[in-house]
Amino acid sequence: NFKPAQRLAQLPPYLFAEIDRVKNEVKAKGVDIIDLGVGDPDLPTPDFIIESMNKAITKGENHRYPSYSGMNTFRECVAKWYDTRFGVRLDPKAQVLSLIGSKEGLAHFPLAYVDPGDLVITSTPNYPVYPIATMFAGGEIYFAPLTEDNDFLPDLEAISPDIWKKAKIFFLNYPNNPTSAMAPRSFYEQLIAKAKEYNTILVHDAAYSEMYYNSANKPLSILEIPGAMDVAIEFHSLSKTYNMTGWRVGMAVGNAELVQGLGKIKSNIDSGIFQAVQEAGITALEKGESFAQEMRDIYKGRRDVAVAELCKIGLDCRSPEATFYIWTKVPKGLDSAGFVTKVLQETGVVVTPGNGFGAPGEGYFRIALTVGEDRLREALGRIAKL
C-alpha cells in the first residue's frame, strides 16, 4: 500500500527477469538449458588474481572503510595501465576514480551533471543503465538509433542542432553491447568536435575494450583522441577482461572536473571497494595481459563456431571483431520476443531479444559466447532443427 516514487513506477521490467521466468519453467520440465543470455563469463577468475586477494586479506589491513575514490596504489596502477594500453596519460589523484563495478559509476554520473529537464543523448539499442540513470536524475532522453546501414554508429549529422544545443551528456559504448560494433578513430574525432561545439559531455563506456579479435585493429579509448580530455569521461571495468564480474571493480577516468564531480556524488553514497579486491585489481592490471590474450583466443574459437553454425542455418552471420556477443537477425516473419520465447520453450537455449535493448533492436537477437564450443554447437544445432 505504499505509493512508489515516480522513478520506481517508471522503471521498465529488468530485461532478463521475464527470460529467467520462462527459463525456470522450461528447466522445471527437465529440459537441458544452454544459457547464451547474460554477458557473464563462464570461465573462472584466474588463480593468480584470487591468490593476490587472499594475500591481501591475511595482511589484515582491510577492516576499515576504504575510500570512495580508491587506494592511491590502485589509481596509480590504472593510470599506468591506461598509458601502456592506450598511450593515455592520467593524473592518478585527479583523473582516476575506483568504482564498485562500472555500472555503479555509470548509474551515478548523471546525478552530478543532469538537472531535471536536461537533455541526454544515448544511442539505442543500448546498455539499459544509460537511460535509466538519466531518468533517476530527472533528465530527458534523446535516442540516437544504431543501424546496420551506419555500422551501428549513431549518425551524428542526423541529430539536429537544436538537440545538440540542449544535450548535456552523450552516452556511448564501443566496442558495443549488444551490437558488438567497434568505433573507428574518425567517428570519435567527429564526435569530439560536436561535443566541443555544443558543450556536451561525452560518457564513453569501454567495458569491452580488451575483448577484440584482431590485434591489428584494437579498440580505442576515446581519451587517446586529441581534444577528448576536455570533454570526456571513460568508464572501464575489470569484469569482462579477467572474469571478475562478481568482484565489482571498475574505474572512471578522464577529464578531471568530470571525474571529481562523480567523486563528490560517490563520497555521499558509497565508501569504495574492499581494499583486498583493489589489491586483486592491481594484480589483474599488472599481470593479466597474457591471461586476457588466452581469453581472447577462447572467445575467438567460440565466435568462429557460432558464426559457422549461423551461416549453415542461413541466418545473418557477420563475424564480430570485438565483444563476446553476436548480434544477428531473427528469421523472417518473426519478431525478437516471439523468436526468443519459441527458441527457449522448444530447445532450452537462452538468447536475448534485441528489442530488450531498445526499439531499433527489434528483429535482432543477441548470443553471448559464454559456453564452450561443444555446447555452442549443440545450442545452434537445436536452433537449426527448430
Interface contacts to ligand PLP, rule CB under 6 A: 39, 101-103, 127, 173, 177, 205, 207, 237, 239, 245, 250
According to DSSP H, which parts of the chain are helical?
6-10, 15-28, 47-59, 72-86, 92-95, 102-113, 129-136, 161-166, 185-198, 228-231, 256-267, 275-287, 289-313, 336-347, 373-385
Q: Report in angstroms how near the CB of residue 130 gets to ligand PLP at its nearest.
A: 9
Q: Report in angstroms how near the CB of residue 127 gets to ligand PLP at its nearest.
A: 4
> Which residue from 248, 250, 213 is spatially nearest to 234, judged by alpha carbons?
250
Q: What's phi and psi for 115, nearest 5 deg?
A: -100, 160
Contact yes or no for 144/154 (Cβ under 8 A): yes
**Concatenated DSSP letters of 63-121:** SS---TT--HHHHHHHHHHHHHHH-----HHHHEEEESSHHHHHHHHHHHH--TT-EEE
Q: Report in angstroms how near the CB of residue 178 gets to ligand PLP at its nearest.
A: 8
Return the residue matching grid coordinates 575510500.
67
Residue closer to ligand PLP (CB basis): 164 or 174: 174
Residue 243, phi-psi category: left (phi > 0), alpha (psi -120 to 50), beta (remainder) = left
3-class DSSP assignment, residue 41: coil
Q: Report in angstroms how near the CB of residue 209 gets to ligand PLP at its nearest.
A: 11
Residue closer to ligand PLP (CB basis): 245 or 319: 245
Q: Report in angstroms how near the CB of residue 42 gets to ligand PLP at its nearest.
A: 14
Residue closer to ligand PLP (CB basis): 278 or 347: 278
Q: Report in angstroms how near the CB of residue 383 gets to ligand PLP at its nearest.
A: 23
Q: Report in angstroms how near the CB of residue 107 gets to ligand PLP at its nearest.
A: 9
Residue closer to ligand PLP (CB basis): 127 or 142: 127
Residue closer to ligand PLP (CB basis): 245 or 267: 245
> What Å distances lie between residue 183 and 209, 218, 264, 386, CA to CA?
11, 10, 31, 35
d(CA 84, CA 158): 36
Beta carbons within 8 Å of 374's beta carbon, 6+ residues apart: none
- CA dihedral 33→39→45→46, nearest 10 degrees, is 100
Reported residue count of the chain is 386
Residue closer to ligand PLP (CB basis): 173 or 352: 173
Residue closer to ligand PLP (CB basis): 67 or 352: 352
Angle (deg, nearest 10), helices 336-347 and 373-385:
110
Q: Report in angstroms how near the CB of residue 278 gets to ligand PLP at its nearest.
A: 14
Residue closer to ligand PLP (CB basis): 105 or 348: 105
Q: Report in angstroms how near the CB of residue 165 gets to ligand PLP at its nearest.
A: 28
Residue closer to ligand PLP (CB basis): 105 or 263: 105
Q: Report in angstroms how near the CB of residue 216 gets to ligand PLP at its nearest.
A: 24
As to burial, measured by CB atoms within 10 angstroms (0-12 exposed, 13-18 middle, 19+ buried), residue 203 is: buried
Pairing mode of beta strands 352-353, 364-368: antiparallel
Residue closer to ligand PLP (CB basis): 205 or 309: 205
